[in-house]
Chains A and B, each alone.
Chain A
């Protein structure tokens, strides 16, 4: 009982099963404790399935948008390169986080003849400036000055 067979050729599979067993035991304990707790409280064991996963009134556009833009950002870096993809996606993220409703204001702002007097349009311009300035600065600082490998 107090020995472990050690063979160099299979030594990579000595430790992982031990950890898996520990995890299985801990998981069983967690479930047993939950069962006891639920019995005492008179609540259903699988009651957590009815719990809300996201917070109330969660921001679907910002949360889903964050993940989708991240995936697209990775894919586009391979196609158009780091700097161009960064400018585009940092801009998208800025617009997403500042509020995509601003985009609807663009035609109105342009029609007014003085678009910069429109707060939403100004915010979009700021997003554009931020994305160009910071993406270029990071590309220059990391890639050119510090010679760090960039995508």
Chain B
């Protein structure tokens, strides 16, 4: 049932190594790595490809700790708090110890989230199988409301970006009556099936990043990565007394991963602040305290399995990286959602095993040769970005069996994403809206078809009431949190003005 051989091992190893490189280079992310390498899935069956993609995912998230600890610049947003304590440790000459503590915490977080994925996805999918189109529509609406709840201080903007993504997803032919909408005459052929996911992903996550780096001049600094002179060496005893912290942070990361649209930075921040709140010595946080480092790293790897739970049970991606994984499934013609496990039981076991293999390989690849792996952060970006552009072109061209329009679409979405970044319109809600847009429309139209056009249908089923309550709670929380964030911002502003 589980496909595992040399080819799969090689794919997982390649994925982890490339992922670590992407994660370690500030500005490059696991999402970008998966988007760029997605075309390779054409060459293999999905189960083999998943070893590569999950390797990229785990490696990409884990690699971020290297620059966070060595130079206090998080390689990925998910290692935002890693440097708070990792960097002071490195300055004390405990760089390799901090890196190894972080890598071990990452492994434990990753394995915990894998267990959560295996335990919670099947029952959630079983429940979701009973959903009619009404509940399916409301679940997507709930996902969009969660995006709003978590767009701190920018609730309306987050929702706006999400619905804009939905609107863009509707461009093209409607499957029920095969009629086109929102397509200019000269693009009738190219946009018949709307924008393909891959060019949108590559544009939003690779081209935008390259444009941002180009704007700032692609500055690079030679960083000292020499960690050979250690004042204190790593020992597994360093993790003694960290059991509760590890489990709590892994749970936090997994939970944050389940919520759609929330990035790894939230997982890292939340578990770090929890570890500080529960600590007997909170004053030591930020001075090179092992607890803070463990909390951040266990949480961000805890996110990996967590983000796959809503994807594989409900078809809703938990974060931007799993949104890219949707592309891999789509390319192979496999629908993610409630029926995924029932219809693809072999693939399901392969995903679990691939995630396990990716975590173990990540540990082996990073833990033992850490002295050499640390040098990755000095790879010259001005040599890497041109190759990424080349891969972007290959990826977007092959998205639809060779169509130059998709390469133009990649550039278009790259420029659009760059504009979004400038006007502070969040990209992740836009992408999630884009991915869920088609289903949102399908379930809405199916619901009103079944009820003869009546919207009352959305309020009559008991399960629908439960989801409505969830939506209302998330909107109420969004409003409360939005006000609280703005109030806090105003207070900080006033304090700063007072100081001046």
Contact = CB atoms under 8 A, between A and B. Distances in A.
A140 B411 CA distance: 25
Nearest to A58: B215
Contact of A14 (B211, B440, B448): B448
B215 A63 contact: yes
Given A4-B453, A19-B167, A62-B214, A130 B397 contact: no
B415 A16 contact: no
Interface stretch (B103-111, B365-373, B399-407): B399-407
A62 B441 CA distance: 41
Nearest to A19: B167
Contacts of B173: 12
Nearest to B173: A12
Given A4-B448, A149-B398, A19 B390 contact: no
Contacts of A26: 156, 159-160, 163
A55 B156 contact: no
A65 B213 CA distance: 12
A62 B218 contact: yes
B5 interface: no
Contacts of B387: 90, 130, 134, 138
Interface string A20-61: 101100110110010000000000000000000111001100
Given A86-B390, A93-B389, A138-B390, A9 B402 contact: no
State the majority secondary structure of interface residues on B: helix
A12 B159 contact: no
Contacts of A78: 404
A119 B206 CA distance: 30
Interface residues of A, number: 60
Given A16-B167, A94-B382, A70 B176 contact: no
B415 A67 contact: yes
Nearest to A5: B453
B244 interface: no
A84 B131 CA distance: 53
A130 to B, nearest CB: 6
Contact of A90 (B157, B218, B390, B408): B390
B247 to A, nearest CB: 40
A59 B398 contact: no
| Interface-central residue, B167, B179, B386, B448, by most chain A CB under 10 Å | B386
Contact of A66 (B163, B210, B401): B210
| Interface-central residue, B163, B180, B440, by most chain A CB under 10 Å | B163
A150 B397 contact: yes
B398 A150 contact: yes
B471 to A, nearest CB: 14
A8 interface: yes
| Interface-central residue, B157, B181, B214, B456, by most chain A CB under 10 Å | B214
B390 to A, nearest CB: 6
Given A26-B156, A29-B156, A90 B176 contact: no
Contacts of A89: 389
A101 interface: no
For the complex of A and B, the 10 pairs showing the least CB-CB separation, nearest first, are A146-B43, A12-B174, A93-B386, A97-B382, A149-B402, A59-B217, A62-B214, A15-B441, A26-B160, A12-B179
20 contacts: A3-B455, A4-B453, A14-B445, A16-B167, A19-B170, A29-B156, A58-B216, A59-B214, A59-B217, A67-B415, A74-B411, A77-B404, A93-B385, A98-B382, A126-B383, A138-B390, A145-B43, A146-B43, A148-B39, A151-B397
Given A26-B160, A26-B163, A130-B387, 11 more contacts: A2-B455, A5-B453, A26-B156, A62-B214, A66-B210, A71-B411, A93-B386, A138-B387, A146-B40, A148-B40, A150-B397
